[in-house]
């Protein structure tokens, strides 16, 4: 644990293709060095302002938006994850069961939704879920480590960074930043923190370790610049979506014409209903980087808010063409198709939803499916939606309704039966 939360509070997961992919790319070399197959390392983004991250079950990486928004470099983010993997490699997680991981995921999934759709709207009950949701994150207090374990995790993480050919100075960046942050937060700390080595001590330790290293291989300049650029866009996106318009303005003033600044302002403008400004900024981004799928995704979100369904679908199509299978973008496109409802739209929406649920089942995808079906399968999709939200009563109610009209040998009839007999 990098920093324990001061208190338990509601938290939600954010689904965002761009953020997940950029972080996955950054930690892939660490996974390889730790002998974890890349397909098993799963990134989960927690919407919470704490400067925090943890790894559960050895391969489920949880990163807080508070950390992503604040951390200054991709190297520093890698150092955080390397430290967390260090706890795994050091066997500090042995007492943690896979069941607890599953439970944590289930409770947080209740509130999982796409970052764009969070703003675009969609299902009103999802909003209610965010407010009423139980706190899965409370369980993280069980994850406190001893001072020795923290030091071992730092050392193992540092070793992992070096073996992975990544820049170990990321550790110095992290602890320097943590020193600033913990200084301010020291007054509201959890008693568990007393066991944690002081940040200064950890900073001194990693400095000494790094000084003793010879022949460090780090990514070349070109790779480093490319990933910094991607990382800065992710930060700008999260700040644009999650922070106040004032903060966006402070961090990315109008005088800043960089891509991240344009991105953050376009998103903030969309949130504020300044759709013309949002669209203008996004189109500038697209003209500068016509191969970036996420700028088209944002354009799709903006056009949807305008009520321009045709333009929205064109933008999502372009985004998907560039991004490949991206469940959140597929779901967003399906939502707009189901709403436009021209001939063929529902069939395409359902096809997109099916592909999205194959790679990453999400409540919102089932909710869009329920809108796109015009027979008993809509009730089955609703049942799946409520099941994912943990609302067994409604899940069973709709599963029962689905079975009344569906053929007994249809897949949806059988899946409804699974929900009823669970
Ligand atoms: Zn730790």
Domain ranges of the chain: 12-222
* Pairwise CA distance, residues 65 & 299, whole Å: 23
Residue among 45, 113, 51 at smallest CA distance from 367: 113
**Ligand 1 centroid from CA 26, angstroms:** 19
**Ligand 1 centroid from CA 87, angstroms:** 7
**Would you state the pLDDT for residue 120?**
39
**Would you state the pLDDT for residue 103?**
57
For 25-171, strand residue ranges (E) read 42-47, 53-56, 60-64, 113-114
**Ligand 1 centroid from CA 96, angstroms:** 14
Tokens representing residue 394 in the block: 């409604």
**Would you state the pLDDT for residue 117?**
46
* Pairwise CA distance, residues 194 & 182, whole Å: 13
Ligand 1 is an ion; its neighbours by CB within 5 Å are: 1, 150, 153
End-to-end C-alpha distance for the chain, whole angstroms: 35
**Ligand 1 centroid from CA 124, angstroms:** 38
**Ligand 1 centroid from CA 89, angstroms:** 12
pTM, entire model = 0.84
Report the relative pairing of strands 42-47 and 53-56 from DSSP bridges.
unpaired
**Ligand 1 centroid from CA 62, angstroms:** 13
**Ligand 1 centroid from CA 17, angstroms:** 27
**Would you state the pLDDT for residue 88?**
83
Tokens representing residue 344 in the block: 């063929």
Q: Identify how many contiguous H helices and E strands the chain contains and give both numbers.
A: 21, 5
47 phi/psi in degrees, rounded to 5: -80, 90
Tokens representing residue 422 in the block: 């669970």
113 phi/psi in degrees, rounded to 5: -155, 160
Burial 83-107 (b: 16+ CB within 10 A, else e): bbbbbbbbebbeebeeeebeebbeb
Hey, how many other C-beta atoms are within 10 angstroms of the C-beta on 186? 9
**Would you state the pLDDT for residue 57?**
75
| Distances, alpha carbon 273 to alpha carbons 136, 162, 269, 278, in Å | 33, 46, 6, 8
- Averages of pLDDT over runs of 10 residues in the chain (422 residues) are 34 83 94 84 85 80 90 93 87 59 54 44 35 34 67 93 95 86 54 56 91 88 94 96 94 97 97 95 98 97 94 97 94 95 97 93 90 95 90 94 95 95 82
Q: Is the dihedral of CA 276, 281, 287, 289 positive or negative?
A: negative
5 with 67: CB under 8 angstroms?
Answer: no
**Would you state the pLDDT for residue 214?**
84
């Amino acid at each position: 644990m990098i920093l324990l939360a001061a208190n338990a509070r509601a938290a939600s997961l954010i689904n965002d293709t761009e953020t997940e992919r950029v972080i996955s790319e950054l930690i892939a070399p660490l996974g390889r060095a730790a002998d974890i197959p890349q397909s098993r390392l799963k990134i989960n983004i927690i919407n919470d302002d704490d400067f925090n991250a943890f790894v559960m079950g050895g391969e489920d990486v949880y990163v807080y938006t508070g950390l992503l928004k604040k951390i200054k470099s991709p190297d520093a983010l890698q150092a955080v994850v390397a430290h967390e993997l260090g706890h795994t490699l050091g066997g500090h997680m042995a007492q943690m069961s896979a069941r607890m991981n599953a439970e944590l995921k289930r409770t947080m999934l209740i509130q999982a939704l796409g970052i764009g759709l969070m703003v675009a709207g969609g299902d009103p009950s999802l909003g209610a879920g965010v407010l009423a949701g139980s706190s899965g994150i409370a369980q993280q207090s069980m994850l406190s480590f001893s001072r020795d374990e923290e030091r071992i995790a730092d050392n193992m993480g540092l070793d992992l960074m070096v073996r992975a050919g990544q820049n170990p100075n990321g550790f110095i960046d992290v602890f320097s930043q943590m020193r600033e942050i913990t200084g301010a937060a020291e007054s509201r700390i959890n008693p568990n923190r007393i066991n944690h080595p002081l940040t200064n001590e950890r900073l001194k330790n990693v400095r000494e370790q790094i000084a003793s290293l010879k022949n460090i291989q780090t990514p070349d300049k070109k790779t480093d610049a490319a990933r910094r650029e991607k990382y800065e866009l992710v930060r700008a996106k999260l700040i644009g979506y999650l922070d106040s318009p004032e903060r966006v303005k402070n961090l990315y003033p109008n005088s800043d014409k960089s891509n991240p600044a344009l991105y953050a302002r376009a998103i903030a403008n969309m949130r504020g209903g300044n759709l013309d400004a949002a669209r203008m900024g996004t189109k500038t981004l697209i003209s500068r980087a016509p191969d970036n799928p996420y700028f088209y995704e944002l354009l799709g979100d903006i056009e949807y808010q305008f009520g321009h369904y045709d333009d929205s679908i064109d933008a999502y199509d372009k985004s998907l063409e560039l991004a490949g299978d991206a469940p959140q973008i597929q779901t967003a496109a399906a939502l707009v198709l189901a709403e436009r409802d021209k001939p063929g739209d529902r069939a395409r929406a359902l096809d997109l939803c099916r592909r999205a649920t194959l790679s990453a089942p999400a409540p919102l995808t089932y909710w869009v499916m329920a809108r796109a079906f015009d027979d008993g399968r809509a009730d089955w999709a609703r049942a799946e939606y409520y099941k994912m939200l943990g609302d067994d009563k409604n899940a069973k109610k709709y599963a029962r309704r689905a079975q009344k009209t569906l053929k007994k040998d249809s897949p949806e009839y059988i899946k409804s039966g699974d929900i009823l007999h669970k």
